[in-house]
Structure 1
Amino acid sequence: MKSFFLALMLGFSIFASAQNTLVGTISNPQNTPLSGVTIRLPELHKETLSDENGTYTFRNIPNGSFKITCSYMGYETQTKSVEISQKETVMNIILTETIHQMDEVIISTAFNKLQSQNVMKVEHQSLKTLAQKGTSTLIEGLATIPGVSQVSTGTSIGKPVIRGLSGNRVLVYSQGVRLENQQFGEEHGLGLNDAGIESVEVIKGPASLLYGSDALGGVLYFNPEKFAAPNTLEGNFNQKLFSNTNGSSTSLGVKTSSDSFKFLARGSYNTHADYKIPDGNRVTNTRYNESDFKTALGYSKERFTSTLRYNFNKLDLGIPEQGIAEQTPTHKTTFPKQAVYATILSWNNTIFFKRSKLDADLGYISNNRSEFEDSDVANLHMTLKTYNYNVKYYLPKIGNFESIVGTQGMHQTNVNTGEEYLIPDATTNDFGVFGTVNFEWKKKVLQAGARFDHRNVTSIAHGNFGDEGYFQAIAKKFQSFNASLGFKTNIKKNVIFRLNFASGFRAPNLAELTSNGVHEGSNRYEVGNAALKNEQNFQTDLNLEYRNPHFEWFVNGFYNTINQYIFIAPNGIVTNGFDTYVYTQANAVLFGGEAGIHFHPHPVDWLHITSSFERVTGKKQNGENLPLIPANKWNNSIKTEFKSSKYLKDPFALLNVTYTFDQKNPSLFETKSNDYTLVNLGFGGKVTLGKTSFDVNLNANNLFNKTYISHLSRLKNEGIPNMGRTVVLGVILNM
C-alpha cells in the first residue's frame, strides 16, 4: 500500500508543470449570454458556472482530448469534445431551448456518459428533488423512485429494495467506496445521512461487472456534495421540522475553493420522538437521534487530482418491541436500543497521461454496532472494519473504442466484544479483475465486459458444541466469472432503445453461513448453513423511452433468474422458546418492470402530469413465493410551476396520489397485505428579501391520515400501522 501512495505522489510531481487554460462563452441561439450554466469536465472532476456575461474559465488543464458538458434548466444538455494542446483554448457553446429535463452525467457506470448516451438505464435523482417530496428519511425518499422500495422498522430503520432484492444483494456506494455496515440484519439500517449528499444513482439489476460480489440486485450510488466554484466562499443552513414525530433535522455547511485547493465541511443533527399512527397513539421506542459530520479536501493540478473525504455518523435508535405501550413525546431512547458509530474515509486520486488516465479509490469503513437489552452494558457489540481499493486504467481511445481495465479488492474483519455473538469473529478477503469496452457510432452504442472474482472467508470457532452461540470455524472460498453485453440505439429521433444482458453473483454472508442463536431483530432462532454456494444470476433488461417537447413515456422490463437463491425458512422446530429458521437454497426467478409517462402540454408548459406503475413477481422453482416482494404500485403526480415574482422565485405546487395494491402472494412465513391510497401535498420556492434568499418547502404527507400497513414493514406481524399524517416544513438559507 505504501508503494502505491508513493507512486501517486511521484505522478503528481512529474505532471504538475503545464499551465493550460480553457475559456469560452455560453449563449442561446439569439446570442444572449447565459449566466449560471453548469459547465463540467467530468474526466477531470472539474466544474464551474458561467458568470453574468456567460463566460467560464478552467485552469490547470493537461494536454489531451476531454469531454465538456453544459447543462442549464430549460435548455438541452450538450456534450462536446475539446482538444487541449496550447496554453489557452477557446470553446464557445450555444445551448438550444427545450422542455426536457436536464440530461445528467452518470457517475456510477463505467464511462461516465450522459444518461441519453448510456447503455444502461440508470435512475438519477437529486436530493433537492427528493426533499421537495417532504420525506422524513433518505431511504424513504429513495422509495419514491420507480422500482425501489424499503424494508422499514418505523421511521428509524430502512433498507433499500430494488426489484424485490434487498440486504446484501443491493450494494451501496458512498464517497466512491462501498459501504459495509453489517447490512445482513433486518434491523440494520442504511447508516447514511442525507446531509452532504448531492444526488443518488440507482442501477437496477446485476452490476457485478463493475462492483463484484453483493451487486447482484443493483447498486445505490450516492454522489457527495460538490465543492464550491473556484475562488468562492459559500455556506448554507438547512432546517426541517416534522409534526408527526416532533422531529427536527438541522444542517450547517461551509465550502470554499481556489484554483487548486478545495474544502468543505458540514455538520447535522436529527432527532425524532415516537411516530404517531392515525388513531393518535405513538409506536413505543421508534424514536432516534443522529449526529453526522462530513468534510472533504481537494487538490488539483494539470495532470493530478486528489480528493480526501471523511464522514462520521453516530446513531442512537430505539428498537420497537413493545408495540403501542408507553405514550411519551420524549426523544430519549429506552431499552432495547442500538448505538452505531460509523466512519467512512475515502481517497480518490486521478493521474492524467497524454491519452489515458489512472483512477484509484481507496477506502476505510468502520462500523461499530452495540445492542442494549435492559442496561447500559452492551449485550451485543460488533466492530466491522473494511479496507477496500478500486483501481481503473482508462486506455487510450482508438477510433470509436473506449476501454477500461481494473482491479478491486477488500480486506474485512469482524470482531465481537459483547456477551452475545450474532456472527463469529471472521476475516473476508476479496480480489477481482475486470475489463470493459465501449464502441459508439452514430447514435448506436455497444458495450461489453468480463470479470473474475475470488473471495476467502475464514472464521474463528466460539462457544461449546450444541449450545446457543456456538460457531464452528470455517474456511470457505468463493469465485465467479461474470460478463455483460449492452446495446443502445435511437430507433427514431425521439425514441431510445436499450437491451442489456448481464450475469451477477453474491457470495453468502457470515450470517447465512454461521448463524446459531436468537436474532432479536427477527424474533426467531436462526441456523446458518456452511455448505451454501454462490448465488448466480442472469438478467435481461429492456428499456424503451420516447421524448418530445411535451410528452415522454418509458417502459422497463426485466427477467432475472437466480440459481442457488439463499433464503431462510422455518423447519417446524422450537428452540429455546423461538421458532427455528434455517438458511437454505433453491433456484428462483424474478420478473416485472416499470412504465410511466410525463405530460407537460403546450402552451401550459408550467403543468407537469406524471404517472408510473411498477410490478415485480418473485418465485422459487417449486412455485412458492419469495419473501419481501413489494406490492405493485401506481404513482401519480400533478406539479405546477408558477411564474416567478420579485419575492418568490421558481414557486411550485405538488399533488401526489399513490395507490399500493394488495399483496396476495406472500411467502410461507409472511402474511397478506391490503391495498391503500396515500395523498400528499407540497408547496415551495425560493424567497428573496433584499440580498437574502432561502428555499422553503411545506409538505403534508398522508394528508387524509389513512391507516395502512406496508407489506415490507417489519411491524406488520404485530398489526402496527405505518405513520399517520405528518406536516414537514423545510428551509434552506444560502449565505
Structure 2
Amino acid sequence: MQQKSFLVLCLLWTAISGFSQNKISGTITNAKKQPLNGAHIHIADKSTATNPVGVFEIKNIPAGKKRLIVSYIGYTTIDTLLTVEDDMSISFRMQPDLNALKEVVINKAGQPQSVKNSEKVNQNYIQESYAGSLAKSLEKLPGVNAMEIGAGTSKPIIRGLGFNRIAVTENGVKQEGQQWGADHGLEIDAFNAENVEVVKGVGAIEYGSDAMGGVISINNDAVPAKNSFSGQALAIVKSVNNTIGTSVGIKYRKDHFFYKFKGTVLDFGDYKVPTDEILYLNTRIPVYNQRLKNTAGRETDFFGQIGYVSEKFRSTISISNVYFKSGFFPGAHGIPSIAAVQDDGDDRNIGLPYQRVNHFKIINNNQWNFENAQLNASVSFQNNHRQEWSKFHTHYSNQQPPEVNPDLELDFNLSTLDAQLKYKYIWSTAHQTTVGVQNQYQSNTIDGYSFLLPKFTRNAIGAYMIHDYTASDKLKLNAGIRFDWARVAIDSFFDQTLFDYLTGNGQSQTIANFYAQRSQNIDKNFSSFNASVGMGYMITNHWNLTATLGSNFRFPTAIELSANGIHHGAFRHEMGDATLKPEQGISFDTKLSYAQNSFKMAFSPYVYYFSNYIFLKPSGQFSILPHGGQIYQYSQSEALLSGFEVSIEKRFFDRITAEVVLEYLYNRQITSDASKDYPLPFTPPANGYWEIGYQFKPLKAFTNTVLSVNGRTALEQNRIAQNELITPGYSIFGGALKSDIKLGNFLANVQLSVNNAFNTKYFNHNSYYRALEIPEMGRNIQLLIRIPFGKASHE
C-alpha cells in the first residue's frame, strides 16, 4: 500500500512539475541604461508593460521554450526564444531604430537591425506635412518625389522610378488602379494613414512585379487599447485654391472587439499660378487672374474597420471608398483653345473636361500566433473606376456621338481580387523563415467615344521564401527567393469608324487596317525567378550599415503591349508592342547611418541596372491620325540608374532643430549608339531640402510651440529624355508655426504654414503639366487644426 501511495505521489509530482507555472520579471532600458516606461512585453499568450522605472512582471508562465517579444516606439523590436524552467529575472537593453525619421513607428522585422533601407513616419508627420495628397506629403523623405496632376492629385516616384515600378500597399494589399498613366493619381486618403514605411531598393521578393523601384507600405490596422474610446477631428483651409476640408475619425474597443470609422471631405477651387500666360504648342494661352481655369475639385473618402483580437488570433475587415472629381485645364486638353480659358466668374465649378475616379476596397486580414510561429492570411477586392469626360469632339467626319453619355471620352473599370498567405517560423534566437504565396486576378473593361486601352484580364501567382539569420548581436543576414507567373489576355478592337475615314481619304486598305486595328488579340504568359541577399551590421552603438543585392523584375502592362491611339493626357500617339519581354534588373543598395544623442546622419548610395527597361521612344514617324503628332513606340533597352541620398538631423541647445536632405540621381539608356543613350523620363534633378525649427518654452495654455523655416532648391535638369523639356533650377521658401493649445479639458493642435512664400514662378520637372509650360502653384497659406478626444493609445 505504501509503495502504491509513493508511486501515486511520484506521478502527481511529475504532472505538477510538468505543468508548473513560473514568474518572469525584469527591466527594460535604452542604450544609456535609462528605464523605458511603457515598453510592451509579450510571452506565452500573456502581455504587460513596464512601469515608470522600466520594471515588468508576468506570472503563470508554463515551463518550456517560449517566444518573447519586447517592443517600444523608436527602438528595434526584440523577438527571441526564452527557455523557461523556473522563476526568472531578465533584462534587455533596447537599441534605437536608426531608420526612423521624426515620429516613428515600430519595426517588427527583428533584431539587431533590419536589412531594409527604409524611412518611417506616423500619422502626425503626414498631417503636418500635408500638401494635398499622400505622395506630395512624403516629398521631404530622402529619395521620394511626387508627380503632380493639378492641386489634389499626385503619384509617388522613388529614385526616378514610378508608375508600375512602385508598389503601394495598404494593410499588406497592393493598391491597384491605372498606375500606368501620368494623369492618374493615387486614390488613398492621406489622413487615414496611421503610419507609412517607404522601402527603397530591392522590394520584388516580398511584393512581386511593380516593386522593382521600391514600396510605400501604408498601415491603418493598429489595435486600440482595451476599454478605450478616442478620435480626432481635423479641419484644413488653403489659400492657393480656397480649400475647405475636414476629416473626422473615431475608434473604440471594449475587450476583444474594436471598430474604427473615418470620413474625409475636401472641396477646392481653381488654383493660383504665378504667371499670366502659358505657351502650349506654340500658342500663348492667357491665365486670367492667375488662376488656372477648371482645376477645381472635390474629394469624399470613407473608411470603416471592425476587428477582433485575442492573444492568439486577430482579424480585421476594412472597407474604404475614395471618390475624387477634378477638372482638366481646358487650354491643355487636345487642341490649344484660347476661347476655352475665358474667365467664367466661378472658380469652384467643374466643367468639361474633367476626371472622375472612384476606388472601392474591402480587405480581410487574419493573423494566428503560435508558440514559435505566425500565420497571416488576407483576401481583398478592389474596384477602380476612372472616367474622363470631354465635350464630344471627333477628328473623323463620319463619327457620330454616342446615344448614351455622349461626352464620356474614356472609361476604365478595373476590378482586382487578391489572396495572400504568409507563414513565419522562428527556429531559434538566430534563425527565422518566412514563406508566402500570392494570387491576383484582374479584369478591366472599357467604354467611351475614344480608344486608348483595350479590355483585358490578368492572372498572376507568386511564391517566395525569406530567411533571416541573426549571426550575432551586431550582424543580421537575410536571403530570399521568389518565382512568379502571370497570364494576360487582351481583347482585340477594330475601329470601323476610323477605317472608313482613312479609306475615304484615299489611304490604302493596308494602311487603314494597321491604324484601325487598335489592339490585337493577345494571350501571353510571363514568368520570372528572382533572388536577393541583405545584411544589417551594427558597427558600433552609433554606426549602422545595411546593404542589399538582388534581382528585380516587372511584367509588361496591357497598355505597353497593345496601346494604339492618341493619349490626350500625354499629348501624343502611343503604340504598344506585343513582343515586349518582362523587365529584368539587378539592384544594389546600401545605407550607412549614424546616431548619437541629438545628431543623426544617413548616407545612401545605390546602383540599378536593367537589361531591358521599357520606355516610350519617339519613332520618327508621324501618325496619320488627325492631330496625332509623332508616334511614340513602347520599346526596350538596357538602362543604368545610380545616385545617392544624404540626410542630417541635429538638435542644438535642446530647443533648436535642423534638418538637411540632399538627393542626386543619374540614369541613362545603354544602346549600341552612345549618342542615343538618353536619360530616362521623369528623372528628378539634383535637389535639397532644409528646415530649421525653434521650440518655445511652455506659456500658459500654449505648449510644444515650434516656429520653423524651410527651403527647397533644385538644380537645372538638362539631362532629359527625348520627349521632355529642360527644366530651370529654382529655390523656394516656406515656414510654419505650430502649437498645442490646452484650455481646461480642451486640447487642440494648431499649425499655420506657408509654402512658396515669395510666390516664385518655377517648374517641377515631374509635373503632369510641365510639358505645357504651366508653373507650380503660387504662394499657399495653410491652416490645420486637430482636436483629439478620448484616450488615444494602441497595443
Q: When the two structures are superposed, what TM-score results if normalisation uses the length of structure 1?
A: 0.89
Other-structure match for 1:511:
559
Partner of 1:569: 617
**Partner in structure 2 of residue 424 of structure 1:** 454
After TM superposition, the structure 1 = structure 2 runs for residues 174-213 of structure 1, keeping only pairs within 5 Å, are 174-213=170-209
d(CA) in 2 for partners of 1:84, 1:312: 47
1:306 aligned to 311, 315, 321, which one? 315
Q: Is the 8 A contact 2:23 2:58 kept in 1?
A: yes
1:471 matched to which residue of 2? 519
Aligned to 2:129: 133
Is this contact kept in 1: 2:191–2:247, CA < 8 A? yes
Tell me how far 1:711 sits from its aligned partner. Answer: 0.9
Q: Distance in 2 between matches of 1:716 and 1:153?
A: 10
1:521 maps to 2:569: yes
Conserved? CA contact 1:246–1:329, under 8 Å: no
Describe the shift of the 1:29–1:612 C-alpha distance in structure 2 as closer, same or farther (beyond 3 A): closer
Alignment of 1:415-454 (within 5 A): 415-440=445-470, 441-454=472-485
Equivalent residue number for residue 670 of structure 2: 621
For 1:25 and 1:646, how far apart are their aligned partners in 2? 36
Q: CA deviation at 1:53?
A: 9.8
1:165-191 residue CA offsets vs partner (Å, 9 max, x unmatched): 110011110122001001111111011
**Deviation string, structure 1 residues 680-716 (Cα, Å, up to 9, x no partner):** 1011121101001011111011111111011111222
Change (3 A) 1:64 1:523: same
Question: Alpha-carbon deviations, 1:134-180, whole Å to 9, x = none?
Answer: 52322211122111111222213311111111100111101220010
> Aligned residues, how many?
706
Q: Does 1:288 align with 2:338?
A: no
1:150-299 aligned at under 5 Å gives the runs 150-224=146-220, 226-279=222-275, 281-299=290-308
Aligned amino acid, residue 446 of structure 2: N
Specify the alignment match of 1:456 in structure 2: 487
Inter-CA distance 431–34: structure 2 relative to 1 (3 Å threshold):
closer
Quote the residue 1:3 is aligned against: none
**8 Å Cα contact 2:434-2:466 kept in structure 1:** yes
Residue matched to 2:386:
369
Quick one: structure 1 residues 716 and 60, their matched pair in 2 at CA, closer, same or farther if it must change by over 3 Å? farther
Cross-structure match for 1:578:
628
CA distance in 1, matches of 2:688, 2:751: 24
Q: Is the 8 A contact 1:47 1:229 kept in 2?
A: no
Query: Which amino acid is 1:520 matched to?
Result: H
Cα pair distance change 1:442/1:86, threshold 3 Å: closer
**Structure 1: which 5+ runs fail to align?**
1-18
What is the one-letter code of the residue matched to 1:639? G
User: What is the match of residue 640 of structure 1?
Assistant: 694
The CA deviation string for residues 115-152 of structure 1, in whole angstroms up to 9 with x for no partner, is x7111111112231233235232221112211111122
2:658 aligned partner = 609
Three-state SS of the structure 2 residue aligned to 1:479 is: strand
Q: Residues 89, 544 of structure 1: CA spacing in aligned structure 2 closer, same or farther, 3 A cutoff?
A: same
- Tell me the amino acid that sits aligned with residue 312 of structure 2: R
Contact (CA 8 Å) 2:358, 2:385: kept in 1 or not?
yes
Task: Give the Cα–Cα distance (whole angstroms) in 2 for the partners of residues 147 and 227 of structure 1.
Answer: 31
* 8 Å CA contact retained: 1:121, 1:203: yes
| Alpha carbons of structure 1 residues 30 and 507: separation in structure 2 relative to 1, 3 Å | closer
The structural deviation recorded for 1:34 is 7.3
Deviation at 1:563, TM superposition (A): 1.2
SS at match of 1:713: coil
The farther-off stretch of 620-629 and 584-593 is 620-629
Alignment of 1:671-690 (within 5 A): 671-690=725-744
Of 741, 746, 764, the match for 1:692? 746
Residues 20, 302 of structure 1: 8 Å contact kept? no
SS in 2 for 1:513: helix
In the alignment, the residues of structure 1 paired with residue 636 and residue 147 of structure 2 have an alpha-carbon distance, to the nearest angstrom, of 22
Unaligned stretches of 5+ in structure 2?
1-20, 276-288, 333-337, 393-404, 496-512, 672-676, 790-795
Q: Partners in 2 of 1:709 and 1:299 — Cα distance?
A: 49
Q: Identify the residue that residue 420 of structure 2 maps to in structure 1.
A: 390
Alignment of 1:486-497 (within 5 A): 486-497=534-545
Which residue in the other structure is 2:597 paired with?
549
Deviations 1:348-380, CA, capped at 9 Å, x for gaps: 111223321211121111101111112764222
* Alpha-carbon separation, structure 2, partners of 1:201 and 1:242: 27
Give the aligned partner of residue 720 of structure 1: 774
Q: 1:48 to 1:361 in 2, by over 3 A?
A: farther
Distance in 2, matches of 1:301 and 1:86, equals 26
Residue 590, structure 1, aligned to residue 641, structure 2: yes
**3-state SS of paired residue (2:391):** coil
Task: Give the CA deviation at 1:547.
Answer: 1.5
| Partner secondary structure for residue 188 of structure 1 | coil
Q: Deviations over 1:629-657 (max 9, x none)?
A: 01110111112223334412222122111
Residue 21 (structure 1) shift? 12
Is the Cα contact below 8 Å between 1:71 and 1:102 reproduced in 2? no
Deviations for 1:290-345, whole angstroms, at most 9, x for unmatched residues?
10000111102232111111111111111224259244453231111111110111
* Counterpart in the other structure of 1:118: 114
Give secondary structure in 2 for the equivalent of 1:466: helix
TM-score norm. by structure 2 comes to 0.82
Assess if the C-alpha contact under 8 Å between 1:422 and 1:469 holds in 2. Answer: no
Aligned-pair Cα RMSD in Å? 3.3
Q: In the alignment, what sits opposite 1:334?
A: 351
Cα distance, 1:500 vs. partner?
Answer: 1.1
Secondary structure of 2:551's match?
Answer: strand
Which residue in 2 is equivalent to 1:730? Answer: 784
Say which SS state the counterpart of residue 131 (structure 1) adopts.
Answer: helix
Q: 1:24 to 1:497 in 2, by over 3 A?
A: closer
| Partner SS, residue 771 of structure 2 | helix
Letter in 1 for 2:328: I
* Displacement of 1:94: 8.3
| Identical columns (%) | 28
Q: In structure 1, what residue type is equivalent to 2:455?
A: D
Shifted more, 491-500 versus 251-260: the winner is: 491-500
**Distance change in 2, residues 1:568/1:98 (3 Å):** closer
SS in 2 for 1:600: strand
Aligned to 1:10: none
Q: CA deviation at 1:415?
A: 1.2
Determine which of 673, 683, 708 is the counterpart of 1:654. Answer: 708
Give the counterpart letter for 2:374 in structure 1.
K
Larger Rg over CA atoms: 2
CA contact (8 A) 1:49 1:229 kept: no
- 2: CA distance, partners of 1:59 / 1:261: 25
Distance in 2, Cα, partners of 1:85 & 1:611: 48
SS of equivalent residue, structure 1 residue 290:
strand
3-state DSSP of counterpart to 2:574: strand
Residue pair 1:590, 1:618 contacting (<8 A) in 2 also:
yes
Within 5 A, what are the aligned runs for 1:376-415?
A: 377-415=407-445
Compute the displacement of 1:493 (Å): 2.6
Aligned residue for 1:665?
A: 719
Shift of 1:242: 0.3
Deviates more, 1:303-312 or 1:415-424: 415-424
Letter in 2 for 1:69: S
**Distance (whole Å) between structure 1 residues aligned to residue 88 and residue 250 of structure 2:** 32
d(CA) in 1 for partners of 2:60 and 2:361? 29
Aligned-pair CA distance for 1:607: 1.4
Partner AA of 2:140 in structure 1:
T
